[in-house]
Structure 1
C-alpha cells in the first residue's frame, strides 16, 4: 500500500491517533509525551501500578490536541492511519531545554522547530514510510513559518538497530533529506538541522 496523505494530528483526528498507537500507546505507554514533559511529570512504563501505565501520558497528548495545538503528523494509506511523526515548535518540548545531551546552544533562537519521534506499526517499517513522514514534517514546519527544523538522530553507521533505539530517526535518513549534521555542543549526540527559509 502507498501513502495517500500526511495530515496534522488535530483533535478531530484523535481517534485515528489512538487507533494507530493501540491500547498501550507507542513505545511502552509513552504516548509520545516523553519530550513534552519534565522527567518528574512523565508517567514511566516502569511504574508499579500496571493499570496506570501511560494513562497520564495519553491524557496529556489528548489535552494538547484539545487546546488546538498539533503534536505531530499522521500518515495515511488506503487502510487508514499507518505512521506518526512528532514535530512542533522546539519550545513545546520542555525536556530538550533540560537535557544535558540535547540542550540547545541558543534556547532563544527564533523559529526553530524540533522533530523528536517517529512511530510505525511493525508491518510498516523499512518500507519508506519514515522518509515520507520526514518529507511531510519538513513541508508542514515550513508552511507553519518555521525557520529551522532540528532533529536528534541516531548514528547506526549504515546498519540496522531495534526500532525502540532509533525512534528519533537515523543519521542517514536525515542526511538523505538534506539536513546538515553536527555534534551537539556539550555531548556526543548528533544534531541535524535544515534551514527552511532562504537568506
Structure 2
C-alpha cells in the first residue's frame, strides 16, 4: 500500500507543485492560474508568466492549494482558496447566476481544480485531496466551501475536462448539490462552520 501524504503548496514546495501539475492534462500550460485570472489576462500571459504568478501564489500566508505525495513523489494537486481570490468565478455566468453565496465573501472558499499525474490515477487521490482541502479551508476560516464538479454520469467527458472534480467524489465527501446550471455541471456546497 503506497504512503499518501498531503501538504500545503508553499513556496518551498514550488518544484513539487510543478511536478504534480505537469503529469498529464493542462496543468503545465495553466499553472493553476485559470481561476485566478480574468479570461483576457489569462489569454495574454505566457506559460512562463503564469509560472511566476503561481510562484507568487505559493508565497501567500495561507497556501492556496495542496499537494498529494505518493511514496514521497508529488503526485496530485488541488486548488482551494477563498472564492474572491479566484476572480474568474465571479465572472463565470454559470456560477454567479446559480450560487446563493455573495461572490465577494472571503468566508466562502472554492475547490476549483484537481490534477493527478497519469501514473498515480486510480488510487483515490482526488478523494483524499478533497478531504484535505475541506480541512484546510475549515482551519483557515471558511464558512462555506463550494465546488463546480462534472457529473460524469451525464454524457461523455474527456479526462482533461475532469479537472473540476467529479460530482460523486464531492457527494461522498458530504457536499450537497445546490444548483445545476447545466445538465452535467452542478454546483455543490458544504457548510463547515
Alignment of 1:17-96 (within 5 A): 17-22=17-22, 26-27=26-27, 29-43=29-43, 53-96=46-89
Of 146, 149, 156, the match for 1:153: 149
Unaligned runs of 5+ in 1: 45-51
Larger Rg: 1
Question: Structure 1 length normalisation: TM-score?
Answer: 0.85
Superposed displacement of residue 39, structure 1: 0.7
Q: Helix, strand or coil: the match of 1:60?
A: helix
Per the TM alignment, residue 144 of structure 1 is displaced from its structure 2 partner at its CA by 1.0
Is there any run of 5+ residues in structure 2 with no aligned partner, and where? none
More helix by share: 2
Q: Distance in 1 between matches of 2:59 and 2:128?
A: 26
How far, CA to CA, are the matches of 2:72 and 2:159 in structure 1? 23
Q: Is the 8 A contact 1:27 1:164 kept in 2?
A: no
Could you list the runs of 4 or more consecutive aligned residues of structure 1 that deviate by over 3 angstroms after TM superposition? 22-28, 158-161
| 1:124 corresponding residue in structure 2 | 120
1:78, CA displacement in angstroms? 1.2
Q: Secondary structure at the match of 1:166?
A: helix
1:69: Cα distance to partner? Answer: 4.3
In structure 2, the partner of 1:172 is: 168
Are the counterparts in 2 of residues 4 and 77 from structure 1 also a CA contact under 8 Å? Answer: yes
- For the aligned residue pairs, the C-alpha RMSD in angstroms reads 2.4
